[in-house]
Amino acid sequence: MSRKSVKFGSFLRNYIDDTEKFKKWLQLGMGFENLRRRHFPDRGRPRFVNTVNHLALEEVYFAIKGISTVWVNLMAPSELLLSAGLNPVSAEGISGALSSMHLEDMAIAYSSQAGISDSLCTFHRASLGVSMRKLLPPPKLVMTTSILCDGNLPTFKRIAKEYDVPFILIDVPRGRKSEAVGYVLSQLKEVVGTIEEITGAPFKMDELSLRLSYERELMENLEESKARTEDSYLPQHLYEHMNSLYVLHTLAGDGRIAAASRGIHERLEAIPENARKILWLHIPPYYDNELFNLFVPGSKNLVVASELMWDWMYPVDPQRPLESLAEKLVYNPLCGSVVDRGNFCLDLARSFRVDGVIHFSHWGCRQSAGGVSYLKSIFEEERIPFIELTGDCVDHSSQGAGQLRTRTEAFLEIVEKRR
């Protein structure tokens, strides 16, 4: 996420009409960056942050290379895929990678020319454009859930159709009710059968148990770090919060991220004196923008927590792997009402002792934006300043950077006065 990404995207744009050369250079460039992040991580940064940044890019690189990839949405049970040697990649993450290189416009334009409505969010429009134009090799499978986004079903079904690969929808009833667990469990058993057909090998339930043990360790380590954040924080740039939400949703069962989380509390840094601690709700923009310059580790404005870095956590039980995964899906706070989401966000605000809350409403994401009024009201009751910023997380040409910065700086002044 840097000027290097934009420069590389500018180079790739020269081959926009030559798909094969475009794919060749994209593979080479992403492969080089993948090796750099793996073997030469940024010195002085916490191991956990470096690992997240590497894995966020690696899963997109695997999709670019076509290495046993499965396109998923954030809430899909990717642990099943990892257990079978398949590599999950967030379709939204693919859109984000294009956005970081300022190349999302070509994919969005292609989907629009194909008749995709402009009212659909740009995460989905960009990923649809990629699949329609065949910029990436076909995945083995496309899998999504009904959690959070109504656009998941038509978008992911169309992606599967474009690539002519199997499509799986896991229907998770809203309401976070225990009676839904059995229904979801039956669907997960069907997913296992589909995975066996695709891989041609029996599904190893003991491997799934191992993946869940990694995930449980990761969750416990992160919870321990959260308990120590009264005067300290995990230093992350705003775009690294975005990387975290992708990796922690799709690769929570990867042993590398569990290993990197060991001792994470020892790499927390002291919060600078008079720093304003912010909780970020929903998603930050993925492309380089003015907000990145406002929230920098070590500065007086710190994003100490983000909603989608913590929502996925559930105490999965390796002794009951499928049942536990079904429970994780059903009881996700974003699978409930706006009250459930509000309670979850309030808990985060209290745990991290934040001074203010920023909700970035991504254009086209009705599910998130629809709850803003309620969220604002409950934070006002807690006397925690709250602001809604609106913009596009993918389309860099629509950002209105100056306005975003002006509104955010004014909000931060309010935060300072209320402390």
Tell me the β-bridge partners of 390: 361
Position 212 in a domain: no
Mean pLDDT of the chain: 95
Tell me how many helices (H) and strands (E) the chain has: 18, 10
Q: Does residue 315 belong to any structural domain of this protein?
A: yes
**167-170, strands of its sheet edge to edge:** 87-90, 69-72, 141-145, 167-170
241 within domain boundaries? yes
Task: Please determine, for residue 336, whether its predicted confidence score (pLDDT) is greater than 60.
Answer: yes
In a domain, 202, yes or no: yes
* Mean pLDDT of the 210-228 span: 98
Backbone angles phi, psi at 126, to 5 degrees: -70, -45
Q: How many domains does the chain have?
A: 1
Tokens linked to 91: 């379709």
pLDDT band of 415, cuts 50, 70, 90: very high
Domain around 107: 3-206+223-418
| pLDDT digits 0-9 by tens, 96-106 | 999 999 999 99
Q: For residue range 246-278, list pLDDT tens digits in order.
A: 999 999 999 999 999 999 999 999 999 999 999
Question: CB neighbours (10 Å) of residue 230?
Answer: 10
Per-residue pLDDT, 3: 84
**130: phi > 0 → left, psi -120 to 50 → alpha, else beta; which?**
alpha
Among 152-156, 186-190, 241-245, 290-294, where is mean pLDDT lowest?
290-294
Quick check: 255 and 261 in contact, CB under 8 A? Answer: no
Task: Decide if 363 is inside a domain.
Answer: yes
The whole model's pTM is what? 0.96
Mean local confidence (pLDDT), 316-323? 99
Give a yes or no: residue 214 inside a domain: no
**Residue 62 counted as domain residue:** yes
Mean pLDDT value across residues 209-229: 98
Q: Using the predicted structure, report yes or no on whether residue 366 has a pLDDT greater than 80.
A: no
Condensed to tens digits (0 to 9), the pLDDT of residues 137-186 reads 999 999 999 998 888 999 999 999 999 999 999 999 999 999 999 999 99
Q: What pLDDT does residue 9 have? A: 97
d(CA 80, CA 77): 6
Q: Which pLDDT band, with edges at 50, 70 and 90, does 402 fall under?
A: low
| Burial class of residue 26, CB neighbours in 10 A (0-12, 13-18, 19+) | buried
Checking if the pLDDT of 21 tops 90, the result is yes
Q: What percent of the chain has pLDDT over 70?
A: 99
As a whole number, mean pLDDT of residues 388-402 equals: 83
Would 343 be classed as within a structural domain? yes
Residue 356 corresponds to which tokens in the numbers above?
């203010």
Contact (CB, 8 A) for 295 and 370:
no
Q: State the pLDDT at residue 1.
A: 53
Over residues 307-335, the mean pLDDT reads: 98
Q: What is the pLDDT of residues 31-59, one digit of tens each?
A: 999 999 999 999 999 999 999 999 999 99
> Does the pLDDT value for residue 364 go beyond 90?
no
Q: Do the Cβ atoms of 277 and 355 come closer than 8 Å? A: yes
pLDDT tens digits along 86-136: 999 999 999 999 999 999 999 999 999 999 999 899 999 999 999 999 999
> Looking at residues 23-31, what average pLDDT do you find?
98
Please tell me the predicted confidence (pLDDT) of residue 363: 86
Cα–Cα distances in angstroms (integers) from residue 344 to residues 17, 230, 330, 365, 405, in the given order: 47, 19, 15, 19, 28
pLDDT computed for residue 359 by the predictor = 97
